[in-house]
Structures are given as structure tokens and as C-alpha cells.
């Protein structure tokens, strides 16, 4: 913040801080990209985040004794009644902004902050009234607003803090600053504003009269009233324009004058700051998924009750009798305590298919705990720990057990007997949350604050081994206690079996798959990278030739100048930075014009994206020549697995370039081939099963092409008469319904009119009424219960189904349609993987699973095992669950991922 004030006035005046809620929220909305601030349910939070950040900083820097926020009620005010065109030029409030002001109000209520919204008046009028009353009562007043009309309130004891850079920088407008900026006193500002006009409020100015002339006239004549009285004295064309528009500027002057006597429920003296409801503040931030620790700390640090708040009471039974074990001491400790459930916490590293464990802590429910350095174990310790960690009869509670299962084998240890994974349990209890970090869960479920988690394998406690040990033992105990808390919650949400029968075994399988990795053909990938790099440079040359001069293809500003200035192409969607040149806009321009540049730009971006993908793959090739991706079970709320470092779900499959990249994933040494197996149309089969629609089930069981069969029924023609366009529309329709696609979304996808898309959907539902009834029932049931559920009992909670905010409600409705179908499909794939892995082990085959991407699994086949593995895979995947529309499995074999496609 610029020009920070001292925290106390010299004469010890009370300090009142007033904030214009709507003005600041709207500014924050445009300062922060909505796509980076959105909850799992689709609620944008960028305006809330920006407002909260500015609020925290201003309360910290200004230390007000009193505080309030004013909001507009609607655009209908006394000004719009007197001048209907007032603000009529403003565009419709963005859908992404709607609802955020209401949520800001919830945050302020949790902070026990006063807020005002008065019918018929703007927030500025409320602020003007409070500022006037406060100054008269001996307050110093600070006003934070993005509306320059507030400059008229500035005085020796009233300062306006005006945002001049997004939401991060405020400029202090004192009487001296107003004069420096405009050459006028604050009292003269409304006179000046009336003459200048205000395009943002749709107040017309005087033709040919800008800010300099307006300021000159006010200084020359002393006031607006005197200028009007002596208007005939103003010479030249500007004078005539003034006289021609005199009535309009008189109205401007009336409208720009802020009201100082709005009837309010509270006076400034009643606005003293009081302690937060801290639990409510944290609850609001959690619901909005605002996890940023800096913002949370800043917001809580300015709680007036923070100093008086009693320290967090420790949960019962957290006193630890912890010991730091030396060489030879682990074996007897495990002999004494190892038969009871133990919480386990580790400090470990993993990168490029290799890692190690440096520290381990164990904790019991009775209070005993132990810490040891893995490099200090003697032979008896090694044997005892290896036996205990691998014993299925020795219960272990871990947080993100997959990490330990992946790295412990580096030391020759095999992990088994994990009865609870608190990260997975938290995910099943509340899959929509953004963070499953141990410290956050400990605060939420145990009321216990933990020391910071280790980063990059190092605890943040300097060289104090005892402090490190105590911190890790506290984490192990927290894991154990969380396990007990989640045991009950899992039963409450019906997910106990899902954890033990599916998620925990899947975690162990994924750990093995991550250790295996998949072999990479480095020369092939490097050649692909060079190919894409050359294509990028070629596109740059073609773009420069198409325009006639060089420009930066990566600069949105320069692209706008080229497209809409130099080439004068049709305008695309307007954004705050100009006309968009995103991929959709380029595709539209390519269709609307014959100019080659949009096509070149699309190719340039696609080749650059492919090059980046291949570069990322090359960087992750480990020393063993294999790529070891990391799978996560707790990212997608539907239950699907995600892949990172590298993200193998990003490798395209439907383009020639994508297929060429896949040829860089090859069979490894000691194996003869790769095998891919996936489910055909699994989401649609699940939809047929859940809807029990006989027509759709019959289309699957007929053995004919599904989309052709359905198209013949929807369009009422023979199957032989179904053309490619009909089939394309029905395929998009069928998959769209499984993903909650609207008629508008279908029209966009098929590039047809919305009315045609709606007609297509109506005809589809006439033929497949069971699907229509199921989709309606799914939303109604979710609205009644608050959640959706898969066949295996995986829940997804959707509180926004009953939201008053239309956008949030409709987003939740789409999720209610999608979650049971996609979630059931994800569950089926996990069950299938487990069945295949178990069958391979029982048959004592050396072939192994390597990858799972979407609905496909990839295996590495040992010499001589192909036929047995294929038979096994088909059987186990087809019988993973029983559906009314039977599961169909496709299998392919080859020396690389692409040639193994089917």
C-alpha cells in the first residue's frame, strides 16, 4: 500500500474505516482471473478473495477503531428515478460476479463487522452520511472506494484511499493530493465532475470541454453556481457549448452531489470493532475453499479479539510420552507397542522414480510415541521394522499411504496392514474440498494445530533433532486420532467399505505402478520435439509473411492490433483487455473470413502445445529409462484418477501428432509387448443401467453400432439410412447427457441453432423416456438429500442445488447428472484394475500393470504370457460389476503404446 499512515492519530481521535463494498468487489473481480479462483462446485471466488485481501491489508495498515462496509442494493436509486439514463450504459453484471457480494456479506457477518445497504441510495451516500457524522463527532475517517465522487468528502480529517493498481495498491487522497491531481479543493470536486461528465455513470459532458477546461472554469468563477450565473461571459465555441448543455450539466451537478443525511440504523459511535466469530470466519473460508495460508493469517491477525482469545485447547489424550530411538532400540519398542494400531508419519523424498525415507515416527493411542533416523538402525531394528511394516495383522494408520508404499521398497521394506488412510478418508467424507493436508484436517477435525509439514524432505526446525522428532511424533499421533474420527464419519456417509475394499487396495496398486513406470524411447521423443519446434518456427514465418511485418505471436496485445487494427477483421468477444484472441475466437475468425492468419495462429498454438508436452515428457525420463508418473485418488471429486509429473492424460489420442507421441512409450527390457485394454462406451452403459431404459439397453445388447442404432430410432429411419451427420449428432447427444450437457451446450458443440438442439433432445427423450426420467430423478433426489451416489456408494455433496444463485444452482444440477455416471465408471475401472492385478498374482504371471488413463489400462507383457494375460484381462474387466448393459472390453497389443491401441 502506498504512503502508509501512522497507526494512531496525533490527537488520539477514534478512527473510522469505511469501505465501498460493491466498488471494491467489482474491482477485485476484474483484477483476478475467475478461472484461478473457483470452488469445486463451480462458484467463482475471485471478487471475494480480492476483497478479503484488500480488507485484511487495510485493517492491518490503518488499525481503525471503528469499521463498516456499505453496499449498493440495486441500480434503482433516487438518481435513476430523476434521470432514468443514469448508469443505463453499463453492461449486464457478469454471471461470474453474481452471488459473490452476498458471500462477502457472509464473511463480514462472521467477522462481526457492520454493513449497510439502504434502499434507494448508493453506497456512496451511506458513506457520505457516516463520514459527515463521524467527522462532526471527532473521528478521523478513512474511505476505501474506487468511486472518484468520494473526493468531495476529503477534508483535514477525512481521507480517501483510492485503488490505483488492481486491489493491491491504494493512493491516499488528502486535500493536498486532490489539489495536486485536479488543481481544485475537495469542495469544488462535484462542480468539476458535473462539467466533465462521467461516462461510467452515463452522465454527458460538454462537447469540447475536458478536465483542464472544467478545472479552469471552476477556478476562474469560483464555483459551479457562479459559472452558471455568468455563463454568458465564457467566450468562444466552448462557451456556446456550455450554454447549449447548461440544463444537462445542472442535472449532473445535482446527481454527483452525495447525500449526507441518509437515515441509518447505526451512528459512527456504534461501529466499534469487536472480536470475530473465528470459527465462523474459518468456516466461510473453508466453504469457499480459500486455502491460501497468507490470506487466512492476515485476515485472522487483524481480529480485534485475537489477543484476548484463549489458546487452542489441546484435544484429550494428546500428551505424548515420546522417545528418540537410537541404534538397537526400535526392535524392543515395536515388541512392546507394535501389536496395537500405530499412527505413522515419515519424512521422505520421491522424484524421477527414486527416493528414500529419512525419518519415521510412530504413535499409539495410549500416548507412547517413537522417532528414529532410518540411517541409524542396526540389523535387529531393520528386521523388526521390516517384519512389522509388512505384517497385515499389525494395523497402521497413515496419511497418504501411497507415498510410503512407493518409497519404502527403496529400503527393502514392503508396506501392508494399512487399515486407514486419513487423506483418502477425508476425500470420501468431503470430496469437494481443495486441500487434504494433514495440518488442515487436524485443525478441522481435532481442534489441534500441528507444526509445519516437512518440505522437500526437511523439517523446518533447524538443527534441533529433539524438536524435529517431537513434531513428527505429534503428526503421527494426529494421524492416528484422525483415523478414529474418520472411522465414524465414513460409516455416517456409507463409505467405509469403499475405503477398505476399493481405495486402499487401489492405493497399494498405484504405488507399484508408479515404481514400475513405463519405458520411454528418448531418441523418438527428442525427434518429435525438434519436429514440433520446427513447425512452430514455420508458423511464425508464415504469420509474419501473412501480415507483412514481424510481430510477437505470443502477445495478446500485438495480436489484437494485427487482427482488429491492421487487418480490420470482425470483432470477437470483448474482454477487459480488448477483443479476445483465444482458440475459440481464432476458430470463429477462420470460419468468418478468408484470411489465412487465424488458421496459422491455430496451428502455431497447437504445435507449441505439443512441443511443450514432449519437452515435459523428456524431462521426466528417469535414470532407468522409464517415465514414472504420479497418480492421485483425491483430486477429481467424481473418483477418477488424475496423473501428474508428467500428466499422461494430456497426451492426445485422436490426432496424428498425439499418436506419434504415444509411440515414444515402449515395451521395456525383459518384456515382449505392451497391452492396452479399455471399456467401450462405459459412461453410456452406466447411464443405460441406472436409467433402466429398455430401448437403450437393447441398443447395447443388439451387438450393432450403438450410435447408428440409436440414431435410427431417434430420426425414425432404417439403420442403413443413418448417415455420418446423424450418427455424429446422436453420439454428441448421448455423451452430452451423461455429462449434464444443456441444449445450448449441444448447439455449440454441433454448431447448430439452439432450437434445433432442443428439438433433438426432445425427440431423443420421446424415444428414450427412461433416460429423461432418470436425469430428472437424479437431480430431484440429489436436491432432497444434498448428494449424489454411485453404484458403489461414493457420494458427492452438492449444497448449491438449493442455492438462490441461478448460476451456482445450474452448475450443481449438471454435476448431479454427471457425478453418478462418471463416478460409477471410475469405480468400475478401479475394481477392474484390482481384479486384474489379483488375477495376475494368483496365476503367478510376471506381466504387470503400468498405467491407467481415463478408461484404459496399460500392461507390460512378459515373454510367452500374452494369450493368458489377454484372456485374464477380458474376463476380469468384463466381470468387474454386473450391468444391465454388459461391459464390453477392447484389447490391443504392440511394442509401443500407440501400436497397442485397438
Instruction: Give the pLDDT confidence of 161-198 residue by residue, as tens digits.
Output: 998 765 567 888 999 988 888 888 788 887 777 667 66
Residue 899: pLDDT band (50, 70, 90) is very high
- Of 430-439, 689-698, 776-785, the one with minimum mean pLDDT is 430-439
Distance CA 431, CA 795 (A): 8
Task: Provide the H-helix boundaries in 257-327.
Answer: 278-287, 293-301
Mean pLDDT of 435-464: 66
Task: Provide the H-helix boundaries in 142-210.
Answer: 175-182, 189-196
Residues 6 or more apart whose CB falls under 8 angstroms from that of 657 comprise: 532, 606, 610
Instruction: Determine the pLDDT at residue 197.
Output: 64
Residue 70 neighbours by CB distance under 10 Å: 29
Distance CA 434, CA 427 (A): 10
Q: Could you tell me the domains of the chain?
A: 15-183+259-270 (3.40.50.1010), 321-517 (3.30.420.10), 520-623 (1.20.1060.10), 683-823 (1.10.150.20)
Residue 131: pLDDT band (50, 70, 90) is very high
Quick one: cell of 706? Answer: 450403438
Instruction: Determine the pLDDT at residue 313.
Output: 40
Kindly report the average pLDDT of the chain as a whole number: 85
Quick one: cell of 234? Answer: 465564457
Distance CA 229, CA 227 (A): 5
Residue 463: pLDDT band (50, 70, 90) is very low
CB contact at 8 A, 553 and 544: no
Distances (CA, A) of 168 to 150, 172, 837: 20, 13, 54
Instruction: Determine the pLDDT at residue 697.
Output: 92
CB contact at 8 A, 110 and 66: no
- φ, ψ at 323 (rounded to 5°): -130, 145
Beta strands in 737-798 (DSSP E): 787-789, 795-797
Quick one: cell of 170? Answer: 491504494
Which residue is associated with the grid cell 454493513? 115
Quick one: cell of 712? Answer: 435410427
pLDDT at 199 over 60: no
Residue 853: its H or E element: strand 848-853
Residue 687 neighbours by CB distance under 10 Å: 27
Residue with the larger pLDDT of the pair 538 and 148 = 538
What proportion of the chain, given as a percentage, has pLDDT over 70? Answer: 88
3-state secondary structure (DSSP) of residue 676: strand
Distance CA 623, CA 876 (A): 34
- φ, ψ at 465 (rounded to 5°): -60, -35
Quick one: cell of 750? Answer: 454441433
Instruction: Determine the pLDDT at residue 7.
Output: 44
Distance CA 506, CA 516 (A): 15
Mean pLDDT of 321-341: 93
3-state secondary structure (DSSP) of residue 321: strand
Instruction: Determine the pLDDT at residue 315.
Output: 44
Residue 846: pLDDT band (50, 70, 90) is very high
Instruction: Give the pLDDT confidence of 370-388 residue by residue, as tens digits.
Output: 999 999 999 999 999 999 9
Instruction: Give the pLDDT confidence of 252-268 residue by residue, as tens digits.
Output: 677 778 888 888 999 99
User: What letter does residue 476 receive in the DSSP assignment?
Assistant: H
Instruction: Determine the pLDDT at residue 576.
Output: 66
Amino acid at each position: 500500500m502506498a504512503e502508509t499512515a501512522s497507526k494512531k492519530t496525533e490527537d488520539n481521535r477514534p478512527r473510522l474505516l469505511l469501505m465501498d463494498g460493491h466498488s471494491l468487489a467489482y474491482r477485485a473481480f476484474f483484477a483476478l482471473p475467475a478461472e484461478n479462483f473457483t470452488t469445486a462446485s463451480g462458484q467463482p471466488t475471485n471478487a471475494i478473495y480480492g476483497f478479503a485481501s484488500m480488507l485484511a491489508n487495510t485493517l492491518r495498515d490503518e488499525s481503525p477503531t471503528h469499521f463498516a462496509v456499505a453496499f449498493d442494493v440495486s441500480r434503482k436509486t433516487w438518481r435513476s428515478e430523476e434521470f432514468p439514463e443514469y448508469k443505463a450504459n453499463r453492461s449486464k453484471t457478469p454471471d461470474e460476479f453474481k452471488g459473490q457480494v452476498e458471500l462477502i456479506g457472509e464473511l463480514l457477518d462472521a467477522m462481526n463487522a457492520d454493513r449497510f445497504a439502504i434502499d434507494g441510495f448508493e453506497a456512496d451516500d451511506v458513506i457520505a452520511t457516516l463520514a459527515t457524522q463521524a467527522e462532526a463527532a471527532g473521528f478521523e475517517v478513512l474511505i476505501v472506494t474506487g468511486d472518484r465522487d468520494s473526493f468531495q468528502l476529503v477534508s483535514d480529517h477525512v481521507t480517501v484511499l483510492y485503488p490505483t493498481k488492481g486491489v493491491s495498491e491504494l493512493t491516499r487522497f488528502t486535500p493536498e493530493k486532490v489539489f495536486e491531481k485536479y488543481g481544485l479543493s475537495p469542495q469544488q470536486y462535484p462542480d468539476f465532475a458535473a462539467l466533465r461528465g462521467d461516462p461510467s455513470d452515463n452522465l454527458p459532458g460538454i462537447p469540447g470541454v475536458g478536465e483542464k477546461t472544467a478545472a479552469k472554469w471552476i477556478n476562474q468563477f469560483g464555483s459551479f453556481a457562479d459559472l452558471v450565473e455568468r455563463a454568458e461571459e465564457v467566450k468562444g465555441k466552448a462557451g456556446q457549448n456550455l450554454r447549449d448543455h447548461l440544463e444537462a450539466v445542472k442535472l449532473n451537478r445535482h446527481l454527483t452531489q452525495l447525500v449526507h443525511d441518509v437515515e441509518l440504523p447505526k451512528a459512527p459511535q456504534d461501529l466499534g470493532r469487536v472480536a470475530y466469530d473465528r470459527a465462523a470466519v474459518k468456516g466461510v473460508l473453508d466453504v469457499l475453499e480459500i486455502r491460501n495460508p497468507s490470506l487466512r493469517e492476515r485476515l485472522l491477525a487483524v481480529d480485534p479479539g485475537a489477543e484476548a482469545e484463549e489458546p487452542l485447547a489441546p484435544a484429550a489424550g494428546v500428551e505424548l510420552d515420546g522417545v528418540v530411538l537410537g541404534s538397537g532400540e526400535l526392535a524392543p519398542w515395536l515388541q512392546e507397542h507394535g501389536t496395537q494400531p500405530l499412527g505413522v508419519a515419515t519424512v521422505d523424498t520421491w522424484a524421477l522414480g527414486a527416493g528414500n525415507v529419512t525419518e519415521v515416527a510412530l504413535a499409539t493411542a495410549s500416548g507412547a510415541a517413537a522417532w528414529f533416523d532410518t540411517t541409524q538402525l542396526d540389523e535387529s531394528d531393520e528386521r523388526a521394522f521390516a517384519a512389522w511394516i509388512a505384517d497385515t495383522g499389525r494395523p497402521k494408520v497413515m496419511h497418504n499411504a501411497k507415498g510410503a508404499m512407493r518409497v519404502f521398497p527403496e529400503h527393502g521394506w514392503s508396506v501392508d496392514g494399512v487399515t486407514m488412510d486419513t487423506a483418502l478418508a477425508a476425500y470420501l467424507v468431503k470430496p469437494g474440498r481443495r486441500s487434504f493436508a494433514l495440518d488442515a484436517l487436524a485443525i478441522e477435525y481435532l481442534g489441534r494445530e500441528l507444526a509445519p509439514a516437512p518440505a522437500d524432505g526437511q523439517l523446518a526446525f533447524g538443527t534441533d533433532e529433539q524438536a524435529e522428532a517431537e513434531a513428527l511424533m505429534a503428526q503421527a499421533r494426529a494421524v492416528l486420532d484422525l483415523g478414529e474420527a474418520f472411522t465414524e464419519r465414513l460409516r455416517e456417509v456409507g463409505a467405509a467399505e469403499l475405503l477398505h475394499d476399493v481405495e486402499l487396495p487401489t492405493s497399494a496398486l498405484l504405488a507399484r505402478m508408479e515404481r514400475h513406470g513405463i519405458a520411454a524411447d528418448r531418441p523418438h521423443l527428442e525427434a518429435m520435439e525438434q519436429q514440433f519446434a520446427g513447425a512452430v518456427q514455420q508458423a511464425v514465418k508464415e504469420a509474419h509473411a501473412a501480415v507483412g511485418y514481424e510481430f510477437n505471436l505470443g502477445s495478446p496485445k500485438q495480436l489484437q492490433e494485427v487482427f482488429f487494427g491492421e487487418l480490420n477483421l470482425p470483432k470477437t468477444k470483448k474482454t477487459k483487455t480488448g477483443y479476445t484472441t483465444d482458440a475459440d475466437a481464432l476458430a470463429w475468425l477462420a470460419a468468418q473470413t478468408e484470411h489465412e492468419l487465424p488458421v496459422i495462429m491455430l496451428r502455431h498454438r497447437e504445435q507449441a502445445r505439443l512441443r511443450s508436452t514432449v519437452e515435459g515428457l523428456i524431462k521426466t525420463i528417469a535414470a532407468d529409462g522409464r517415465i514414472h508418473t504420479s497418480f492421485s485418488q483425491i483430486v477429481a471429486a467424481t473418483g477418477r484418477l488424475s496423473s501428474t509429473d508428467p500428466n499422461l492424460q494430456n497426451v492426445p489420442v485422436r490426432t496424428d501428432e498425439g499418436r506419434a507421441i504415444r509411440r515414444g512409450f515402449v515395451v521395456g527390457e525383459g518384456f515382449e509387448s505392451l497391452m492396452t485394454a479399455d471399456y467401450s462406451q462405459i459412461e453410456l452403459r452406466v447411464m443405460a443401467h441406472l436409467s433402466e431404459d429398455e430401448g437403450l439397453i437393447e441398443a447395447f445388447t443388439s451387438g450393432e453400432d450403438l450410435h447408428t442404432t440409436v440414431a435410427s430410432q431417434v430420426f425414425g429411419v432404417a439403420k442403413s439410412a443413418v448417415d455420418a451427420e446423424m450418427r455424429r449428432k446422436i453420439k454428441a447427444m448421448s455423451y452430452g447427457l451423461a455429462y449434464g450437457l444443456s441444449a445450448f451446450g449441444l448447439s455449440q458443440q454441433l454448431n447448430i441453432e439452439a432450437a434445433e438442439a432442443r428439438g433433438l433432445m426432445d425427440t431423443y427423450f420421446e424415444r428414450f423416456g427412461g433416460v429423461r426420467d432418470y436425469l430428472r430423478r437424479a437431480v430431484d433426489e440429489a436436491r432432497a438429500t444434498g448428494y449424489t451416489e454411485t453404484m458403489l456408494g461414493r457420494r458427492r455433496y452438492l449444497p448449491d442445488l438449493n442455492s438462490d444463485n441461478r448460476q451456482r444452482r445450474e452448475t450443481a444440477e449438471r454435476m448431479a447428472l454427471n457425478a453418478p455416471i462418471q463416478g460409477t465408471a471410475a469405480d468400475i475401472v478401479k475394481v477392474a484394475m484390482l481384479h486384474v492385478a489379483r488375477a495376475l498374482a494368483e496365476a503367478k504371471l510376471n506381466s504387470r500393470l503400468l498405467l491407467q488413463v481415463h478408461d484404459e489400462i496399460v500392461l507390460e507383457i512378459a515373454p510367452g504370457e500374452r494369450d493368458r494375460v489377454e484372456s485374464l484381462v477380458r474376463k476380469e474387466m468384463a466381470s468387474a460389476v454386473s450391468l444391465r448393459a454388459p461391459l464390453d472390453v477392447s484389447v490391443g497389443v504392440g511394442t509401443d503404446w500407440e501400436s497397442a491401441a485397438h
